[in-house]
A and B are shown apart, each in its own frame.
Chain A
Amino acid sequence: MNWKCLAVVAALFICLAGFQAVEHPEPASTPSGSAALEVNCLDCHIGPNPTKEDPRLAPCPRSATNSGPEVVLIDRLSEQYVPVIFAHKLHAQMAEIAGGCVVCHHFNPSRRILACQECHSAASPGNLAKPGLKGAYHRQCLNCHREWSHETECAVCHAKKTANSARVRLPDPADIMGILHPNAKEPITKVYATGYEPGKLVTFRHQDHVKRFGFKCVNCHREQNCSQCHTPAETAPRSKTFTEYHARCAACHETREHRTEACANCHSDTEIPPFSHEKTGFALDETHQDAACSDCHVSSQFSTKFSAKPTCSTCHEEQEKITYPERLPGAKVASL
């Protein structure tokens, strides 16, 4: 035997050893038909010689917030129920706290996330251990919902089909709070301590904002991740940029960095008293006290358009002459 043969044999041995050392975790339940789905090592492992200690897994390209459908329409029971509007993205975000996509998509031998119905057939299962599609859906949903909200009524997900339920309505993310998610406690006032020397305190009247403008939670808490409430303090709060701090308020309040005269509208060393209409120069008398803000300050949705001049014509025939400050509210309010 010469050295060439030895080299070939050694190489073979190394390859064999390398492949032997790779371990694959078994899924908790092994549905039949798995052999039909191709498993390619390189789908998940990069580089040579993955071992148990260093499996060399490629970073998962999926992030719950970035991939996967926003909403999945489940319409198998369409004779009896309106198709179920499944807020996939929302649930994906929640699952990320727990363990990622595999919390629901519990068997994906390839990189591609498998939809439920690819393994669970709608028809009666031949394999006793694998539920049909109906059972698979419900077991995934209900086992969480039962622990979470203790609510397992069909109506939570299925809207009964009535005469005028033909049109399917996409969910408003605002539907969630209080219906699919238990009501969170809303603070009345939050006073923040900032690092802004001229005025350390920012008084945020949460309840006033919600009540006066009819906000839903998601109007402001848009990019909120579930983990911000449910696993607080896991990571140390990192410092944010100026824009990040002011992002939520910028929609309505003057927070541009170069407009330094507006800072004092919110930043003060003392708690700022709540809003009173007198500050605008137009004290509300008895009749006007009962009116809602939107009766005079007409706007379809809250935005910078709130600066539109108030109109009296919703109730009065003639337009009264009024003056209205050009600048955004808040800026004006705080200064009075």
Chain B
Amino acid sequence: MKENRRRFLKELAAGSSTVLLTPHSEAVDSVEHFTGYPDRVGMLVDISLCIGCRKCEEACKQSNQLPPITVPLEDKTVFQRQRRTDAENYTVVNQYANGQPGMPGVYVKKQCMHCEEPACASACLVGALTKSKEGAVLYNKEVCLGCRYCMIACPFGIPAYEYHNPASPQVRKCTLCYERIKSGGVPACAAICPNEAITFGKRSGLLKLASEKILNNPGKYQDHIYGLTEAGGTTWLYISQVPFAALGFPMNLGVKPFAEYTRGFLSAVPVVFVVWPALLGAFYLFAQNRLRQPGTETMPTGPNGEAAT
């Protein structure tokens, strides 16, 4: 008895010390959460500063070698209807009512938002749209098929297609002047804006600036930075003195990156590949088994010899 107990205690000691002294693997379960490339840029638009001069449209077209603007800058009739981006206009400025009679209108610049987790990049079946580490969402015209699923997916309705081009139609959208920012420059629209309504910088710095502007000017700005969390966050950020809902901004985007919406379905794909053969193979075997049973080898027939169901 004593011998057993001693042995038991020895084994217990040996076992537990082995377990305790063996190095364990760290952090077995960690939730994956990518917060974005740290040095990515942002573009902050202070809507209260935009005067609707449309020099950004002009500069963008020049910088991207697009055809020049068709409506002269002095012609304000261009604001009579809301425009959208198209294959020759990567950005447009639209006018909205101020909400107070007699006050001048409010102008909002519209362009690709360069989302943190873009729906278009998730949609593209050849990966023609990618999020660079600088923050720009880039389009690779060498692999694009022209299926236009990115246009379906974009919650802001930005990508435009060259329907009139038979040989090499491309999807067209703001490039965030990628070549310029990679060489340390500033996107064309931010550079030209006379009021510096667009501020270019690191996204993290711009968020602080936007918060400061809202905090230091109580009552002037809406207490919301558009683009902070919309659709998972975007590179372009907006602050405004007028509610965003009155400025044509989609307000129903939620905070979930759009790529998440198809993740559930896609994760079921390998499951189907694995489970269906088993399931269907089972059906096949059941059928075989049923037909093997004595008495079921002949199928009952009807009066004309056809098989009955």
Contact = CB atoms under 8 A, between A and B. Distances in A.
A154 B196 CA distance: 15
A152 B206 CA distance: 27
Interface string A119-141: 00000100011011011001100
A154 B53 contact: yes
A153 interface: yes
A124 B186 CA distance: 9
Interface residues of B, number: 23
B71 to A, nearest CB: 14
A146 B196 contact: no
B51 A142 contact: yes
Interface string B22-64: 0000000000000000000000100001011100000000000
Nearest to A28: B216
A146 B194 contact: no
Contact of B194 (A129, A138, A150): A138
A228 interface: no
A155 B186 CA distance: 26
Interface of B: 44, 49, 51-53, 73-74, 103-104, 186, 193-196, 199, 201, 205-206, 208-209, 212-213, 216
A139 B49 contact: yes
A147 B104 contact: yes
A135 B196 CA distance: 5
Contact of A128 (B104, B193, B194, B206): B206
B196 A132 contact: yes
B273 to A, nearest CB: 51
Nearest to A150: B104
A135 B216 contact: no
A229 to B, nearest CB: 19
Given A28-B216, A132-B196, 18 more contacts: A124-B186, A128-B199, A128-B201, A128-B206, A129-B213, A138-B194, A138-B195, A138-B196, A139-B195, A139-B196, A143-B49, A147-B103, A147-B104, A152-B52, A152-B53, A153-B53, A154-B73, A154-B194
Interface of A: 28-29, 124, 128-129, 131-132, 134-135, 138-139, 142-143, 146-147, 150, 152-155
Contact of A152 (B51, B205, B208, B209): B51
Contacts of A155: 74
Most buried by B among A128, A139, A153: A128
B51 A131 contact: no
Contact of B196 (A29, A131, A143, A153): A131
Given A146-B51, A152-B51, A134 B196 contact: yes
Contact of A134 (B53, B194, B199): B194
Contacts of B212: 129
Contacts of B201: 128
A136 to B, nearest CB: 8
Nearest to B194: A138
A147 B102 CA distance: 10
Contacts of A142: 51, 194-195
B79 to A, nearest CB: 12
Contacts of A124: 186
B195 A135 contact: yes
8 contacts: A28-B216, A128-B44, A129-B213, A138-B194, A139-B49, A146-B51, A152-B104, A153-B53
Contacts of A143: 49
